[in-house]
Structure 1
Amino acid sequence: MTAALELARVAYQEHRWTAARDAFGDAQRSRPLPARDLELAATTAFLLGLESEGVDTLTRAHEAFLAADDITGAARCAAWLGIQLTNSGSRARGGGWLARAQRLVHGPGEPGDAEGFLLIPLGLGSLYSGDADGALRAFDQLVDFAQRFGDRDILCLARLGQGQARVMAGQVEEGMSLFDEAMVAVTADEISPLPAGIVYCAVIGTCHLAYDLRRAHEWTVALDQWCAARPDMIPFSAQCQAYRAALYCLHGAWSEAYGAALLAEERFERGDREAAYGAFYQKGEIERLRGQFEAAEASYRRAGETGFEPQPGLALLFLARGHGEVALALIRGAVDGTDPGTRRRLLPALVAIELAAGHLADARAAADELRIGSSDSRMPMLRASAGQAHAAVLLEEGDAHGALAEARRASSLWRDLDVPFELAQCRSLIARAHRVLEDAASADVEFQAARAIFTQLGATPSVRELDVAGRTPGDAPLTGREVEVLRLVASGLTNKAIAAELYLSEKTVARHLGNIFAKLDLASRAAATAYAYQHRLV
């Protein structure tokens, strides 16, 4: 063995990927690398974001294993090539390599652990199509293979798949337990770098989907430390930043969230393709909440180019811009036919948009579904979200006492979770309930508290909405639909044009306008326009 090859192997073990790549390059200039070292060199290239080089080197490793009559090694390389190419969008090439791996493992001789790798695409296909039972069968079989051959990489990926399938099927606690089992192997550094990164990012993503904020925190911190120990690694680093952005956003550190999203975008441009959605979606979220609507739409569109719908962000953006019918079509389309975990994440936005559209029965149905799904959950974030949605529906139904109690419970949970934006939303609901109950002093205290939080966050659109709800001279705040009409009046549109914009009848628009004049104590469209500009609604 040459000195360069020894240096390459040591650098690989120490996670110094750039040094390992350079040393592998030096070593093979004097003599061809053994198959196993070619496989390590390929992994190094992938970890540096050099996908083309990684594919070429892994192809050479496959051929070297074949030359050495090591069918298991050759099949393993073929399977990884298939997985890598398929994930990067080269489905035809990836399918060809998976077919070759299939042929090798089913050829003469004893089956090897590489046969297990072929179950990974099968299980993933079932997951992506929403077939939780099919995915679970594939990953259960994969566990059997991994345990038979003692392959820790495959076993860890199998546990991950089992957990994802359980969560998709609504068995959240069982799924999370499987994730914890998989993460033990990752944090103990028992598995290879590529499977480790895959497990980290998939577990954190599913924790967010399942409202498991505690685990999302814990594993994001662990992923951050794992990436920091591998500073020249490109894959998974952008995903880490996207997850950090999501947590920062949740906890009200919006500047830090935006910075992390920009880092995720930069790392995506350097090669971490799996992070495209998260990088742009998180940028869009901050921009939307700050009122930078054009920038937010551009970010959401970029996120949507990955093939995943940028929801509920895009629908909420259209709602904030006064396009309630578009928002409703988007959120309903996203909710229909999706898996239970994703549906649960979208339901709070569905409730808000249905209420804004005046569809109280539909909002009630969505809120009830969310509440039933959270009734026996140990996830306080899910219970808080369900309680907040329920309170909003109760208020619109006229049950101010019930809304007040429900909103107080939800606000307590949001406060414990340190989620200021949702806390302010709940305090706004509490204020509105107090107003209906003719407790003006308590209503004012809650309105001012909510406004202070929104102002500190930089949530300009929410401050504007709150000013309309909290400072009207009449007995009742404007509804979401009335705010939409007021904005369009201030934009100079006639009743006929407003009706066309909102898909309403002119008679309905006139009724909304009459309500606006009465609530705000205004006598003309000009006065309504002045009010809208004074309160920064346009």
Structure 2
Amino acid sequence: MSAETGIDKGRSAFREHRWGDASRSYAEADRHGGLPAADLERLGTSGILTGDIVAGLETLTRAHEEYLVIGDVESAARCAGWMGMHLMFMGERVRAGGWFARGRRLADELAEPGAVQGLLLLPDGLGKLYGGDPAGALEVFSRVAGYGQLFHDKDLSALGLLGTGQATLMLGHPDKGLAMFDEAMVAVTAGEVSPVPSGIIYCAVIGNCHLAFDLARALAWTTALDRWCSERPDMVPFSGQCQAHRAELYRLHGAWAEALEAAAVAQGYSTRGDPQALYGGYYQQGEIQRLTGNLAGAEASYRQAAESGYEPQPGLALLCLARGEVQHAQSMIRRAIGVADVATRRHLLPALVEIELAATAPEAARRGADELGAFARECPMPMVRALAGQADGGVLLAEDDPVGASQALRQAWKLWLELGVPYEAARCRVLIGCACRNLGDEPSALMDFEAAHREFLELGAAPAAAWTGSLLREAQGNSGGADGPLTPREAEVLRLVASGMGNRAIAAELYLSEKTVARHLSNIFLKLGLPSRSAATSYAYEHGIVS
């Protein structure tokens, strides 16, 4: 294949988003006579998009140098800017800073300003955005968007709009910020934006929708991102982040096995060219492990997530709470929320209320619930209203107002059901049962506890099932039930355990496999909130299951 043929094939493949084919055709052409600067830039970009970041950066460096040779200073500066951006996403801030400095020096040499000046403002805007200065970031990104408009650069206009939306969200104006995200996504979904900025915008918009508790938008844009990635099967960057977003949605909607699978895929992509997937892949895995009772695994996952540079909160604080380290959890969440921007603070408030209640600090919990309530009045999206109602109901219970608690919790429960978030709906149901109990309505309390318990068992939420199991034992004790929530077969297994028989002997006695006996025993521990066979034996004697 001649160099000219390879270049033509490479350009065609690049236009059609077949970056693996583009890389191969361009590489072949490069071996047979070299590539022009613009095609070297496309080859480097193709390498990065297929996960070969080192080779891609080396080729972009060649493109930068070739632009300088031919006197195209603006394109050389643009190449330097994108080199800096790629290195920044990889966490190589020193090298990134060097390329940004070179890009700015070259841009200063231009006789007339151009779009590249706007591109080279992006690192300053990102620094302010994640450095606690959203007002400064808003000013910088507004200038970026202005350069895009002035020079008709669709990439720059969309990235500027993304940044202004993020800064606006962090300043506490979610409606305005989300509207800006929608506008940026119009350009992306219309195909007006090039591949790398498109991926950046997709992933940032979805992450910020979750931060703003806009579950409907997060679902819609994740579906769009999933489709976009599927149409580009050899793309590595952004594909991992897509899987991390999928994992979060699966987790919320109760599909925990699927969430773990998506998180594992995201982790794989994070080592193959999508380092931004590291946090989401491990954080979402940690959340499932925490909720299912694998606390050691959750801690390891949160530590991996922290390697990204982002703090794994509120998961880490809630993990401490699950371990019974209440004061540690309280100190951790208070510190995290004290240094957070407005949007992140709101994201941490539900965990703060839960932890403060566990630490018997009702006044602090009330302040957190009231702040969530004010946010819900300002931004009445279903998920915000559900979180606010759940927090308010929990605090009202602690304040000995079961009537008010029941009203707030039932509204929150209905919202969680409408959103399709079963774990939080079940948690609300337990608290509703507690309110009924405080009002002396034991039959209704039993009904709520049983419904929540079934949901927790179906999800595999062992700690929550154990908690609800203990409440069920109290309710059934009051109503006179002996076997409690156990099925007849489980009660029979428990009787044999209490008689001192091991799993093999029980299996022979009941004509079951040892694996089936072990599963029954696991269900017994979950349902009754018991830690061991000896505890199960004590329970059996105390509740008259054996005499």
Q: Same fold (TM over 0.5)?
A: yes
Match of 2:436, as an amino acid?
H
Question: 1:52: how far off?
Answer: 1.1
Cα distance in 2 for residues equivalent to 1:108 and 1:299:
48
Residues in 2 aligned to 1:332 and 1:354: alpha-carbon distance in whole angstroms: 9
- Mapped to 1, the partners of 2:40 and 2:325 lie a distance apart of 56
**Does the C-alpha gap of structure 1 residues 99 and 534 become closer, same or farther in structure 2, counting only changes over 3 Å?**
farther
How far 1:528 sits from its partner (Å)?
Answer: 12
Change in 2 beyond 3 A, CA 1:108/1:349: closer
Separation in 2 of the partners of 1:341 and 1:106?
36
| Paired position in structure 1 for 2:152 | 150
In the aligned structure 2, how far is the partner of 1:534 from the partner of 1:468?
14
| 2:147 aligned counterpart, secondary structure | helix
Change (3 A) 1:213 1:361: same
Deviation of residue 531 (structure 1)?
A: 5.5
2:341 is equivalent to residue 339 of structure 1: yes
Deviation at 1:86, TM superposition (A): 2.2
Q: Which residue of 2 aligns with 1:278?
A: 280
Q: What is the match of residue 232 of structure 2?
A: 230
Structure 2 counterpart of 1:119? 121
Partner of 1:447: 449
Deviation at 1:532, TM superposition (A): 12
User: What TM-score results when the alignment is normalised by the length of structure 1?
Assistant: 0.88
Give CA-to-partner distance per residue, 1:276-302, whole Å, 9 cap, x none. Answer: 100000000111111111111110111
1:171-186 counterparts in 2 under 5 A?
171-186=173-188
User: Which one of the candidate residues 101, 107, 118 is aligned to 2:103?
Assistant: 101
Match of residue 137, structure 2, among 135, 138, 145? 135
1:87 match: 89
Q: Match for residue 461 of structure 1?
A: 463
- Aligned partner of 2:290 in structure 1 is 288
Equivalent residues of 2:409, 2:431 under 8 A apart: yes
Deviation track 1:155-186 (CA, whole Å, cap 9, x = no partner) reads 11001001101100111111111101110111
Name the CA distance, whole Å, in 2 between partners of 1:127 and 1:534.
Answer: 59
Q: Encode CA deviations 1:137-170: one digit per residue, 9 max, x unaligned.
A: 0011111111111111111100100110110011
- 2:48 pairs, out of 25, 41, 46, with 46
1:301 aligned residue (280, 300, 303): 303
Following superposition of structure 1 onto structure 2, how do residues 412-431 of structure 1 map, counting pairs within 5 Å?
412-431=414-433
CA drift of 1:470 comes to 3.1
Q: Give the structure 1 partner of residue 399 of structure 2.
A: 397
Cα distance in 1 for partners of 2:257, 2:162 equals 33
Amino acid at match of 2:147: F
Q: Tell me, yes or no, if the aligned pair for 2:48 and 2:273 is still in contact at 8 Å.
A: no
Residue identity opposite 1:51 in structure 2:
I
Q: 1:387 aligns with which of 381, 386, 389?
A: 389
* Alpha-carbon offset, residue 530 of structure 1: 4.5
Q: Give the Cα separation in 2 of the matches to 1:243 and 1:532.
A: 45
Query: Take 1:292 and 1:533, find their aligned partners in 2: how far apart are those partners?
Result: 30
Instruction: Give deviations 1:172-214, integer Å, cap 9, x for gaps.
Output: 1111111011101111111111000000000000000000011
Deviations 1:352-404 (A, max 9, x none): 11111111111111111111111131311011001101000000110000000
Aligned match for 2:79, one of 77, 83, 94: 77
Shift of 1:106: 1.1
Unaligned runs of 5+ in 1: 476-525
Deviation at 1:534, TM superposition (A): 9.8
Residue matched to 2:22 = 20
Q: Cα deviation per residue 1:88-145 (whole Å; 9 max; x = unaligned)?
A: 1222221111111111111141112111111101110110012111011001111111
Q: In structure 2, how many angstroms separate the alpha carbons of the residues matched to 1:348 and 1:108? A: 52
- Taking structure 1 as reference, are residues 435 and 82 closer, same or farther at Cα in structure 2, changes over 3 Å only? same
Kindly state the Cα deviation for residue 87 of structure 1 after the two structures are TM-superposed: 2.3
| One-letter amino acid of the structure 1 residue matched with residue 40 of structure 2 | L
Percent same amino acid at aligned positions? 52
Cα pair distance change 1:343/1:530, threshold 3 Å: farther
- Aligned counterpart in structure 1 of residue 325 of structure 2, from 323, 326, 335: 323
Which amino acid is the alignment partner of residue 9 of structure 1? Answer: R
Corresponding residue number in structure 1 for 2:263: 261
Distance 2:222 2:535 in 1: 51
> Over residues 416-459 of structure 1, what are the superposed CA-to-partner deviations in whole Å (9 max), with x where a residue is unaligned?
10110000011111100000000111111111111111111111
One-letter amino acid of the structure 1 residue matched with residue 437 of structure 2? R
Deviations 1:281-338 (A, max 9, x none): 0000111111111111110111112221111111111111211112112211211110
One-letter amino acid of the counterpart of residue 349, structure 1: A
Coordinate RMSD, CA, aligned: 1.9
Query: Where do residues 495-506 of structure 1 align in structure 2 (5 Å cutoff)?
Result: none
Given candidates 355, 358, 363, the residue that maps to 2:357 is 355
In structure 2, the residue matched to 1:366 is 368
Letter in 2 for 1:134: G
**1:31 matched to which residue of 2?**
33
Give, in angstroms, the shift of residue 469 of structure 1: 2.4
Q: Unaligned 5+ residue runs, structure 2?
A: 479-533
Q: Counterparts of 1:143 and 1:376 in 2: how far apart (Å)?
A: 28
Instruction: Tell me the secondary structure at the aligned position of residue 191 of structure 1.
Output: coil
- Distance of 2:137 and 2:540 partners within structure 1: 53
Structure 1 stretches of 4+ with a deviation exceeding 2 A read 526-535
Aligned length: 486
**AA paired with 1:48?**
T
Q: Which stretch of the first structure deviates more once superposed, 336-345 or 84-93?
A: 84-93
Equivalent pair of 2:390/2:428 in contact (CA under 8 Å): yes
Write the distance in 1 (CA, Å) between the matches of 2:216 and 2:47: 34
Q: For the residues of structure 2 that align with 1:150 and 1:529, how far apart are their CA atoms? A: 75
Q: Could you report, residue by residue, the CA deviation over 1:478-522 in whole angstroms, capped at 9, with x for unpaired residues?
A: xxxxxxxxxxxxxxxxxxxxxxxxxxxxxxxxxxxxxxxxxxxxx
1:391–1:533 Cα change, 3 Å: farther
Instruction: Flag the 1:398–1:272 CA change in 2: closer, same or farther, 3 A.
Output: same
Does the aligned pair in 1 maintain the 2:449–2:472 contact within 8 Å? yes
2:250 counterpart (227, 242, 248): 248
In 1, the alpha carbon distance for the partners of 2:535 and 2:140 equals 66
Match in the other structure for 1:492: none
Which deviations, in whole Å up to 9, do the C-alpha atoms of 1:9-45 show, x marking residues without a partner?
A: 1111111111110000011112121111111111101
Q: Letter of the aligned partner of 2:271 in structure 1?
A: E
TM-score w.r.t. length of structure 2? 0.86
Q: Secondary structure at the match of 1:44?
A: helix
Partner of 1:65: 67
Find the aligned partners of 1:113 and 1:306 in 2 and give their Cα distance. Answer: 31
- In 2, Cα distance between equivalents of 1:354 and 1:399: 18
Q: Secondary structure at the match of 2:276?
A: helix
Aligned CA distance change for structure 1 residues 532 and 426 (closer, same or farther; 3 Å): farther
Give the aligned residue type for 1:29: R
- Contact kept, 8 Å, 2:330 with 2:356, in 1: the verdict is yes
**TM alignment of 1:210-229, pairs within 5 A:** 210-229=212-231
Q: 1:527 to 1:194 in 2, by over 3 A?
A: closer
